[in-house]
Structure 1
């Protein structure tokens, strides 16, 4: 670990050129056992600007399975050999590790030297099952994804519009395929500074199970709702077309096959202004969603709440369902498998509708099938599942009825909590006193006619 302000301005590391190599003395000792490395994290946050990264060739195979590096922020005073030597050394470790499955980089240092484009060394992207990259452009992320055929989970932190390529007269920006399919990807987390104009229009993830999108508070307003819906639509159509990619998928597949998205069970949207596209996302993912979290941006309106409200099971049941009534009723419901719901500072619906929706999903039927996983039993598998956890935070003070009804459900056993945005005081609901019971009714005098 090389970090901390003034980390090298001390008696142990005097600022002299002749002793600069001593900075890497601890690393040299560890490199003597590089063949035994298994899980390694290196932090080069505060390398001195005038240091020279030694040439550490890795000539033996390692047992490395997990490798993460926190890079330093390049500085004009860094020597021209520091960054190339540093990147070459990291890639040599990764390439000498046939068991490497997890790779992560953090910090503000550019990783374009590791991409394999316009460089003689790279990380073996095709072998990785887990990837985390911080401060990466959307084009570089896509370029790496199209080489990462084995990925199962992927995190892009602080994705933005950064300059990744070293342009010259002999190299142009690399070409991205129109459809970049990552067939095995199950978990995707994206944190972005800007609108992602390219990322969602190229990506296809037919087997994605968890999706987390976070637009940083400092970012501009997010306008990618339609692009996200199209990405989920293309990904869902692959299931109907088979595992083989179809050229021109975005325009070559009839629109009637776009009936569902990938099998996403967990969807988290933070500070994402989906406008009217949240309902479209929920409909595409309705069959598989079990956990939904929407945080910030008032996008959950009356329409969304009413779509999520389950009808009364007794009223919805037909008189003669032919023996498969549960399946028929489930097909009319939005997100019938939902078990966890988090809505924080995003509700713009009328007072009373949110609590009514939660109650309808907390007690959808007399049979609790939340733990029924036997897919052979169609009746239990298709029945709606009860909510197990509900967390709600209102930003509008006029939700007295919702808060009152939700607190009643929490007292009755529902897990979770309800609250108000900081510095917002709830306007309590108006209490209407009921008509007292056993009050005698005076009869009219007989002479009144």
Structure 2
């Protein structure tokens, strides 16, 4: 037997790197990166969270306080967090709520207040017990009116028309937003609201959801040189509406409701003749129209308008000329408007086609909606008139159409309680525009590296509600397109 000894093999040396994880500092006790954030920064994050919270401010703040002991300490020690007041007076609210509000005001120190005040419930005790409690709370808030920054009032059934007057030395200098809502059956005068508006030189947003049938003595006090958002539920005549717009040089968003207007100069019910021309640089306009609205639209110039909504409360009455009353106004804004909305389609398909032909070159969003108005059964059938004639005009299928389709840049289409066409016609139109979007998207991906200025177009969002029709072919075709990525939804039934 041969035994080998003292034999050495020269093998290559292989060095395997070993990664040793760094030691965690002793100060880090958990995996959360928030533990390294200074308390001052966390406090500002909490403030932003409360500003964006979808639930009530009180619940959001309690969520922060119950997360951990450190967060509770930060919340309790940050006065700005307690400047968010979410006050709700319910049927069974106790008198301790007043003390809670006073504690919040004390904790908030001198920070600007963001107040949400509402009275919930419709029981018989609310106007009595809840009403007295709400008045006491409101009187407490009025003592801090110089700190009001944003206020939202929802008064339920109690009109709260006997609120205290302002002290001479207290003026809401920093107040920027006022929103008021009331479900009261009575007709309060809201004198205190007029006084509040009159003393708010820096007001930028005013939203009025008071029932339009109520008297509104606050309107003569309106003079908003810095207003940018105005939403009023009160029914105004055309001259007053134009006067308000003229007094707001930086107005951006305007929602108004107009009295009935037949379109004939001899039948005008405006108290004063409207001015010759009114120029406004707003970008969003929503007008609730009864009749034609001609007295309001004719003198109005809006060169920057992008979003326009017509809320039709009655069928449009035609004047001596055969054209639809809003066509002249649409021609003026056709180069800037990209979003057009109609609530309650009280117009013929010919009038609708005329509107779309005017806005066709730049229109990207078309919405035809049903509002919450109390309409009769006959009215509901009359607004169900988005017919095959309009659908065919919107089709972009080059193989079947001998003309250029309307609204070639249309990207968003919403239809509620208005589709009345042969089954399958609507889905064919949507398919032609959806295929265009897919093609444009593919072309954009191919050309993106060469030309960054390529702009995609084509329908990518489609919402529809079929009310009184089955539309089985449309259902199947739309389901297939949804699976391919078409956004939106398809609903059936009267709800």
SS in 1 for 2:235: coil
The residue aligned with 2:165 is: 55
Consecutive unaligned residues of structure 2, counting only runs of 5 or more, are 1-116, 262-269, 371-382
- Retained in 2: the 8 A contact 1:343–1:391? yes
Q: Distance in 2 between matches of 1:185 and 1:408?
A: 41
Deviation at 1:378, TM superposition (A): 9.5
Deviation at 1:2, TM superposition (A): 7.1
Deviation at 1:130, TM superposition (A): 0.3
Please tell me whether residue 300 in structure 1 is matched to residue 398 in structure 2: no
RMSD: 3.9
Higher RCO by CA contacts (8 Å cutoff, separation 6 or greater): 1
Please tell me whether residue 113 in structure 1 is matched to residue 193 in structure 2: no
- Retained in 1: the 8 A contact 2:291–2:317? no
Q: Distance in 2 between matches of 1:391 and 1:11?
A: 43
- Retained in 1: the 8 A contact 2:341–2:368? yes
| Within-5 A mapping of 1:430-445 | none
Deviation at 1:136, TM superposition (A): 2.0
CA gap 1:136/1:412 in 2 versus in 1, 3 angstroms: same
SS in 1 for 2:199: helix
Q: Distance in 2 between matches of 1:188 and 1:12?
A: 37
- Retained in 2: the 8 A contact 1:71–1:105? no
Please tell me whether residue 7 in structure 1 is matched to residue 115 in structure 2: no
SS in 1 for 2:480: helix
- Retained in 1: the 8 A contact 2:206–2:230? yes
Higher CA-based Rg: 2
Q: Distance in 2 between matches of 1:48 and 1:351?
A: 50
Q: Distance in 1 between matches of 2:443 and 2:153?
A: 44
Q: Distance in 1 between matches of 2:356 and 2:235?
A: 29
CA-to-aligned-CA distance 1:412-447 (integer Å, 9 cap, x gap):
332223343339xxxxxxxxxxxxxxxxxxxxxxxx
Q: Distance in 1 between matches of 2:404 and 2:130?
A: 73
CA-to-aligned-CA distance 1:312-331 (integer Å, 9 cap, x gap):
39999xxxxxxxxxxxxxx9
Residue 283 of structure 1, aligned match among 338, 342, 357 = 357
SS in 1 for 2:206: strand
Q: Distance in 1 between matches of 2:357 and 2:274?
A: 30
The residue aligned with 2:417 is: 345
- Retained in 1: the 8 A contact 2:226–2:248? yes
SS in 2 for 1:9: helix
| Within-5 A mapping of 1:135-150 | 135-139=234-238, 140-150=240-250
Deviation at 1:133, TM superposition (A): 0.8
SS in 1 for 2:488: strand
- Retained in 2: the 8 A contact 1:94–1:123? no
| Within-5 A mapping of 1:38-437 | 38-44=149-155, 46-47=157-158, 52-57=162-167, 59=169, 60=171, 62-70=173-181, 83=189, 85-95=191-201, 98=202, 100-108=203-211, 110=214, 113-116=217-220, 122-139=221-238, 140-156=240-256, 159-161=258-260, 173-182=271-280, 184-191=281-288, 196=293, 198-215=295-312, 219-223=313-317, 226-233=324-331, 235-236=332-333, 261-275=334-348, 276-295=350-369, 297-312=383-398, 332-364=404-436, 366-368=439-441, 380-381=454-455, 385-395=457-467, 397=469, 399-422=471-494
CA gap 1:371/1:294 in 2 versus in 1, 3 angstroms: farther
Q: Distance in 2 between matches of 1:128 and 1:54?
A: 26
CA-to-aligned-CA distance 1:348-405 (integer Å, 9 cap, x gap):
333333222111111127331798999x969723xx6122111223345363333332
CA gap 1:295/1:25 in 2 versus in 1, 3 angstroms: closer
Consecutive unaligned residues of structure 1, counting only runs of 5 or more, are 14-21, 117-121, 163-171, 237-260, 317-330, 424-449
